[in-house]
Structure 1
Amino acid sequence: TTVMFYNMDIMKKAGVDPASIKTWEDYRRAGKKVREAAGKPMGTVETNDSATFLSMISQQGSGYYSKNGKLILNSKTNTDTLNYVKDMVNDKTLLPAPGGGHHSEEYYGFMNQGGAASVLMPIWYMGRFIDYMPDLKGKMAIYPMPAWKEGGDRSAGLGGTATVVPKQAEHLKLAKEFLGFAKGSKEGNIKLWTVLGFDPLRWDVWDSKELKEKNKYTDFFRNGTSIFSSLLEIKDEINPIYLYEDFSKAADLVVRQVLFDALKTQEKTPKEALDEAAEQLEK
């Protein structure tokens, strides 16, 4: 589940309540107040990773491929979205993430010192705050993503982790049974939250008492005890991302060329960058 993490000290200084941010236009207007009051960008955008862009297009039912496998990387929705992000970079609402992405040492240091008012990432990013940005304890709060229009979807589903059993395993059946227990059982799903800080795969544990108890994640975030009540509100606002044979190639082109050319150097327009990537994929 993708959410927006807000630095409440900065938001308070700017006089902005994150609960009032319903749309991306609201977010952009709030960014102006943040710049004027705190001299900081509202958020950051990745230029060598795809979480920012992919979550923003997924919100609108788009992606790199359609449900039937058609390449839609350079669709109007994607082009308009990248243009909007570019505009937010140019008006200083968003800053290209130091180090290029939200997992770089440069970014962690920047954010730990209160470098930006917010960051858009999946809920599992909570662990990154605890591990790499400890000075933000008690300052960060978690809210839904802004929607593209009133009543629009307020989240996206971004993962990346997969667990597999190699065929060469000595005890193949036992390994598969354990993996099924660890990732598929109620007990395992509760541990996904209490041990790892991931939102569990099974909806039927989201309202269990264990997910309401305090732990290092709820202690770190200002609204930590209400994390799952917030996630339950948006769990049906997550669109699927369709994976096809060349999805990894498309993803690689986005992070290696499209975002860098369109947002970092701005040597190409978003349309030019996306069209060029689509052309390479269709060869």
Structure 2
Amino acid sequence: MNKLTVLATLALASALTGTASAQADLSGTVTVWSWDVAAKALQSTVPSFNKKYPNVKVNVVDLGNQNTYDRGLAGCAAGGTDLPDVYSIENNEAEVFWARFPNCFTDLNTLGADKLAAQFPAFKWTELMAGGKRYAMPWDSGPVAVFYRRDLYQQAGINPAAIKTWDDFIAAGRKLNTKFAGKVKMGTVGNGKDDEWFRMLANQNGCFYFNTAGTEITVNQPGCVKALDTVKKLYDAQVVTTGDWGGQITNIKAGKTASAMYGAWYEGTIRTNAPELSGKWGVYPMPASKPGGVRAANLGGSALSIPDSSKNKAAAYAFLQNALATTGGQVTMLKSEGLVPSLLSASKDPYVAQGQAYWGNQKIWQTILDTLGDVPQARGTQFFQDARQVVLVTQSDFIGGKYKTAQEALDAAARRIASATGLPVAK
């Protein structure tokens, strides 16, 4: 054995000893609060975590979505009492915590999260940061896609690859109306129930309720006006129907709608609620507002944070890294529960490039995840729910004819949001 070989061997042994030492240093219990399929997804990453950290016990607790949120608020209000080591939080609710309880959660930059920032799309960090601090790490995302019935499109002579703009989408809807005598629509909009279509289209156009600094109301800016105008055009063309969450699922199962536009997590909703339609569905990117425009948006998504009261922050952060900052962790959750990764490298995993049987063997995850890097940033702020309730009513009133133009409607909405939040309307 020559000198170089000896040195290399010693270096390797030292590195392995250091790794083993780091793993041995982490012990105790990490308690995680989450809900439903999200909790199941996190549980699916525990085996790979324990291969790295065998002395750490992970206890994933499914509290349900609302209970997790409520107990988090209560715990923060009580100074961090009775909070877990890892806390699940939805992106659009995150800033409620940072604004009301800025000392309740650990700045993950102090644990190394700043070094991981570039591994996630910028839009996923927008609502997870305040004052330069990273209070949570991106988990799943909701890149928007259009899920469509292959058989119904084919019967109506619609080529999904030709649907590149919203005008194309409307033209396809007219073909459906002709073929099925108006009994099959292009999609279900939650008008009067939710404003998710407005939010998806506004995000696509680089607009949202508030600016990305969270300092001004921007709901009446051109991109949002274009979004509301488009929703109205869909109704005027009679290519969509109205329904709540359950109504949309009913329409899907009954074949009354040929498409559904949602965040990619809706894949699991369709697949589990309509297993009898396996092989009849496909996916394509959302249409653009204009030829060559952006065909990407985000709806939904969550993150993981570490309460400052945690007694095992190092192990908790190691759990976050394994589940969220490794391709293996993210793809494990995609396979087990259909949670769409935020980690950019996950889009290169071989599983993403596989055809999915339910979706006619289409490589749907490749289609969906390829849009992640194009999603414009949006900021919900701590006033997300206040603004959402205003826009929900405004959209319904505009479609019902109360306002002459989308600009007039959203100018009124901006004034009401300003009254509710105290924020100024952007000029």
Smaller-chain TM-score bracket: 0.7 to 0.9
Deviation at 1:120, TM superposition (A): 1.0
1:185 to 303, 306, 326: 326
In the alignment, what sits opposite 1:228? Answer: 365
More relative contact order, 1 or 2 (CA 8 Å, 6+ apart): 1
Deviation at 1:245, TM superposition (A): 3.8
Deviation at 1:79, TM superposition (A): 2.1
Residue 378 of structure 2 corresponds to residue 254 of structure 1:
no
Q: Deviations over 1:152-199 (max 9, x none)?
A: 111112224233344454544423321232122222111121112122
Aligned 8 A contact 1:129 1:136 in 2:
no
Q: Deviations over 1:121-158 (max 9, x none)?
A: 11111010122232332111000111111211111122
Using the alignment, how far apart are the partners of 2:364 and 2:336 within structure 1?
A: 16
2:293 to 137, 152, 166: 152
Using the alignment, how far apart are the partners of 1:232 and 1:182 within structure 2?
A: 18
Aligned 8 A contact 2:204 2:296 in 1:
yes
Q: List, as ranges, runs of 4+ consecutive aligned residues in structure 1 with deviation greater than 6 Å.
A: none
Deviation at 1:272, TM superposition (A): 4.3
Deviation at 1:268, TM superposition (A): 4.1
Q: Is the partner of 2:360 in helix, strand or coil?
A: coil
2:374 to 228, 237, 255: 237
Q: Deviations over 1:41-67 (max 9, x none)?
A: 122222222321111111111111223
Identity %: 27
1:200 to 330, 341, 351: 341
Alignment of 1:101-140 (within 5 A): 104-140=245-281
Q: Is the partner of 1:2 in helix, strand or coil?
A: strand
Aligned 8 A contact 2:297 2:376 in 1:
yes
Deviates more, 1:138-147 or 1:164-173: 164-173
Alignment of 1:1-283 (within 5 A): 1-38=143-180, 39=182, 40-47=184-191, 48-68=193-213, 69-96=215-242, 98-99=243-244, 104-169=245-310, 171-213=312-354, 218-224=356-362, 226-231=363-368, 233-255=370-392, 257-263=393-399, 265-269=400-404, 270-283=406-419
For residue 188 of structure 2, what is the amino acid of its counterpart?
T
Unaligned runs of 5+ in 2: 1-142, 420-427
Using the alignment, how far apart are the partners of 2:281 and 2:302 within structure 1?
A: 25
1:71/1:192 CA distance change after superposition, 3 Å: same
Superposed CA RMSD = 2.2
Deviates more, 1:185-194 or 1:160-169: 160-169
Deviates more, 1:75-84 or 1:170-179: 170-179
In the alignment, what sits opposite 2:13? Answer: none
Using the alignment, how far apart are the partners of 1:7 and 1:71 within structure 2?
A: 38
Deviation at 1:32, TM superposition (A): 0.7
Using the alignment, how far apart are the partners of 1:194 and 1:23 within structure 2?
A: 31
1:106/1:228 CA distance change after superposition, 3 Å: closer
For residue 221 of structure 1, what is the amino acid of its counterpart?
W
For residue 239 of structure 1, what is the amino acid of its counterpart?
P
Q: Deviations over 1:204-257 (max 9, x none)?
A: 12122233346xxx2211243x223323543332111134343342123223x2
Using the alignment, how far apart are the partners of 2:195 and 2:306 within structure 1?
A: 28
Aligned 8 A contact 2:173 2:239 in 1:
yes
Unaligned runs of 5+ in 1: none
In the alignment, what sits opposite 2:116? Answer: none
Aligned 8 A contact 1:157 1:238 in 2:
yes
Q: Is the partner of 2:255 in helix, strand or coil?
A: coil
Aligned 8 A contact 2:353 2:366 in 1:
no
Using the alignment, how far apart are the partners of 1:81 and 1:213 within structure 2?
A: 34
Using the alignment, how far apart are the partners of 1:25 and 1:107 within structure 2?
A: 23
More strand by share: 2
1:118/1:171 CA distance change after superposition, 3 Å: same
Deviates more, 1:37-46 or 1:23-32: 37-46
Deviation at 1:278, TM superposition (A): 1.1
TM-score, structure 2 normalization: 0.59
Higher Rg of the two aligned structures: 2
TM-score, structure 1 normalization: 0.86
How many aligned residue pairs are there?
272
Using the alignment, how far apart are the partners of 1:140 and 1:237 within structure 2?
A: 24
